[in-house]
Amino acid sequence: MINKTMDSAAAAVADIGDGATVMIGGFGEAGSPIELIHALIDQGAKNLTVISNNTGSGQVGLAALIRNGRVGKMICSFPRTANSTVFPELYRAGRVELELVPQGTLAERIRAGGAGIPAFFTATAVGTVLEEGKERRSFEGRDYLMETGLRADFSLVKAKKADRYGNLLYSKTARNFGPVMCTAAATTIVQVEELAAAGGIDPEAVVTPGIFVQRVVVVADPAHESQLVKEGRSYP
């Protein structure tokens, strides 16, 4: 019988090794799998390459992973937001590397990685400093840059509901990078608020089909990053 559910976040992230590439879903706090990130901090893997749109806020979640020295390199589009101090400090100190990627190019690189497409051309960033080192080609009179697909060893994603097959539903704008990140990792780990019975999710409504998901952990009442930041919390 197929059953992708696991008992704990700790068990789900136990085999993420040093030097792994990890995609982490979320746009700001919406969709950030904070309990999986905290389990990864507890687990101790270091020198990670993290692919995520932002770099977290306050001293919890992704920001805490970075502050604990676990991240060697960030690949992201917007590494600063309100309440985001951890990444800027470590970046200025030269202790974490940054690959800055336009947001649409980031999403498409992940989509391409998941779809087995090694590279593609896009008009985004032509003539800007982010063109540096990239091949430029002209198609039908317009210039484009070559971008490569992104894959990861693991993806950590937050969704609303799953069944034991790993079929997923999301919540509003917390969906963001989740569906593409699920497709682009060797092992995709998803935290959900609710587990549906098999057959309990309408096949017409499935957003991420279970083939893209390897592990499901139920976190019934996930923490809200902004609330933890407001309370001045720090993890661990």
Partner 1 sequence: MSAAAEASKGWSSEAMARRVADDIPDGAYVNLGIGMPERVAQYLPEDREAVFHVENGLLGVGPSPAPGSEDPELINAGKKAITAVAGAAFFHHADSFTMIRGGHIDICVLGAFQVSAAGDLANWSTGEPDAIPAVGGAMDLVAGVRTIFVLTQHTTKTGEPKIVERCEYPLTGLACVDRIYTDLAVIDVTPQGLVVRELAPGISFDEVQQRTGARLVAGASVST
What is the pattern of x (binds partner 1, CB under 8 A) and - over residues 31-60? x---------------------x-------
Q: Rg (Cα) of the chain, in Å, rounded?
A: 18
What is the pattern of x (binds partner 1, CB under 8 A) and - over residues 168-197? --xxxxxxxxxxx-----------------
List the Cα angle 101/24/152 in 5-degree steps: 75
Instruction: Provide CB contacts within 8 A for 33, sequence distance 6+.
Output: 24, 25, 26, 156, 157, 158, 190, 191
Pick between residue 43 and residue 171 the one whose CB is nearest to partner 1: 171
CB 30 within 8 A of CB 173: yes
For 136-156, what is the HEC assignment? EEEECCEEEEEEECCCEEEEE
Residue numbers 94-113 binding partner 1 by CB under 8 A: 98, 100-108, 110-111
Which position among 6, 30, 206, 218 is part of the footprint of partner 1 (CB under 8 A)? 30
Q: How far apart are CA 133 and CA 129, in angstroms?
A: 10
Kindly report the number of other CB atoms within 10 A of residue 12's CB atom.
27
Which position among 6, 72, 77, 194 is part of the footprint of partner 1 (CB under 8 A)? 77
In the chain, DSSP assigns E strands to: 5-6, 21-24, 48-51, 71-76, 97-100, 119-122, 136-139, 142-148, 152-162, 168-169, 185-195, 215-218
Q: Is 91 in the site for partner 1 (CB under 8 A)?
A: yes
CB of 59 vs partner 1, minimal distance in Å: 18
Instruction: Provide CB contacts within 8 A for 228, sequence distance 6+.
Output: 34, 58, 60, 61, 235
Q: Is 81 in the site for partner 1 (CB under 8 A)?
A: yes
Which position among 73, 78, 153, 206 is part of the footprint of partner 1 (CB under 8 A)? 78
Which position among 1, 2, 7, 82 is part of the footprint of partner 1 (CB under 8 A)? 82
Size of the site for partner 1 (CB under 8 A): 52
Query: What is residue 175's three-state secondary structure?
Result: coil
Q: Tell me the window of 43-51, 61-69, 116-124, 210-218 that interacts with partner 1 (CB under 8 A).
A: 116-124
CB of 31 vs partner 1, minimal distance in Å: 7
Which position among 127, 136, 198, 202 is part of the footprint of partner 1 (CB under 8 A)? 127
Q: Is 206 in the site for partner 1 (CB under 8 A)?
A: no
Q: Is 235 in the site for partner 1 (CB under 8 A)?
A: no
Residues found near partner 1 in the complex (CB under 8 A)? 27-31, 53, 77-82, 87-88, 91-92, 98, 100-108, 110-111, 122-130, 170-180, 207, 224-226
